[in-house]
Copies of this chain bind each other. A is one copy, B any other.
Amino acid sequence: MKLNFDESLSLIKRGTAEILPEKELEERLKSGRKLRVKAGFDPTAPDLHLGHTVLLNKLKHFQDLGHEVLFLIGDFTGMIGDPSGKNITRLPLTREQVVENAKTYQAQVFKILNPDKTQILFNSEWLGDKSAADLIQIAGKYTVARMLERDDFYKRYTSNQPIAIHEFLYPLLQGYDSVAMHADIELGGNDQKFNLLVGRELQKHYGQPQQVVITMPLLEGLDGDKKMSKSLNNYIGIDESPDNMFGKIMSISDDLMWRYLELLSFKSQQEIQQWKLETQQGKNPRDIKILFAEEIITRFHSLQDAKRAHENFANRFQKHQLPKEIPEIAVQISENFIPLVNLLKTAGLASGTTDARRLIQNNAVRIDGEKISDADLKIAVNTQHIYQVGKLRIAKISATPTSLRERSSKQSRDTTTDTEDWISSSRKKTRDSQ
């Protein structure tokens, strides 16, 4: 990719949350050196969705500009497990599991990253040999007070939630990784900002140039509201079928479409700007969603798959003869999810939950044209889909929260209890926290 300096800088800055400090980034880019760009990842079995690829896409930008990506798998702490013994689900990983997971990673991330410009590293390489005395040396470089400034630590400390002392060591080890790797730049989710800055601090202590920290926003899920996550069922997995991907992308709101284009598309900023203009002049956003869906499916499957998914989508809607006018129904729900059978009953598409269950079992229920076989399926709040029961009953149903006030308090609770989610950033905070 041949870009001048301003274009390169603009590409790097696209979609970022923060660059700390931006001036140093410019200096590094101007140096003409091949920069060492670090990003850390959990050693747990990856099952990536588009949310995770925001970071990978940014790494790809650096590769496109000729730099080297250091893909760090944080296996050292993964193999320790949870020393406090409180989190029984955090069993220590074996070396075999780590290696196995790393293979799965490679299969997935090399759909985006260029293998020739990617080094896969394991921090057990340099941390595994460290002695207790070495760790004490590292721990001497940072203070308790500064560690307690980290948002989640501060909240837990002030609300009397226990923090085990080893949790203070993990950000230091993560920071030491930057020392061992001589990182020029480290990327992470914006919830990782603190930990990334620890790396800067430790590099200074070890007499190295300090890495530039770049954080990426967390991608919103299909609902356009909460961050994309498995547990909220608002995600697009990168291993999902082309048809699923197509349907899900077509279901997003027009606003969210622009957000996804910025963070997920490889189209140039100029091109996207052009589309915005055209939309303002009357172009149907659906046509842009189709192009975007094809781009994403091509990336993770193939161009042929993308075209076929598009056809299938069109056929499905034609075959099922969707009426031009579909009634819109809002169903207010007080939880984050509603069982599909309850939704159908409440919206009047089934006479009761038993009826709804029977209809699903008879393959008579479709969501966005797709046949549903799971009678226990749950529908997330803040989603809008077209529900069909048989040929005749059809409605666009929005699952909306009971009231804004209630939803907002619920949301903050969800954010803290969502432990299953593999977030786009490297080792995430909740992982440290257990």
Contacts and interface: CB of A to CB of B under 8 A. Distances in A.
Interface of A: 76-77, 79-80, 82-85, 127-128, 130-145, 147-148, 153, 157, 160, 162-169, 172-173
A145 B162 contact: yes
Contacts of A169: 135-136, 139, 165
A141 B83 contact: yes
A143 to B, nearest CB: 5
Scoring A83, A127, A157, A160 by chain B CB atoms within 10 A of each residue's CB, the highest score goes to A83
Contacts of A140: 82-85, 164-166
Nearest to A148: B144
A76 B134 CA distance: 12
A45 B147 CA distance: 35
A256 B168 CA distance: 47
Contacts of A144: 144, 148, 153, 157, 162-165, 167-168
Given A127-B132, A131-B130, A132-B130, A164 B137 contact: no
Contacts of A163: 143-145
B165 A80 contact: no
B157 A80 contact: no
7 contacts: A76-B133, A80-B136, A83-B137, A128-B131, A132-B173, A144-B153, A144-B162
A160 to B, nearest CB: 7
B172 A165 contact: yes
Scoring A141, A157, A166 by chain B CB atoms within 10 A of each residue's CB, the highest score goes to A166
A153 B165 CA distance: 14
B168 A145 contact: no
Contacts of A85: 140
B136 A166 contact: yes
A164 B136 CA distance: 10
6 interchain residue pairs of minimum CB distance: A83-B140, A139-B166, A130-B132, A132-B135, A139-B165, A140-B166
Scoring A141, A143, A160 by chain B CB atoms within 10 A of each residue's CB, the highest score goes to A143
Nearest to A79: B133
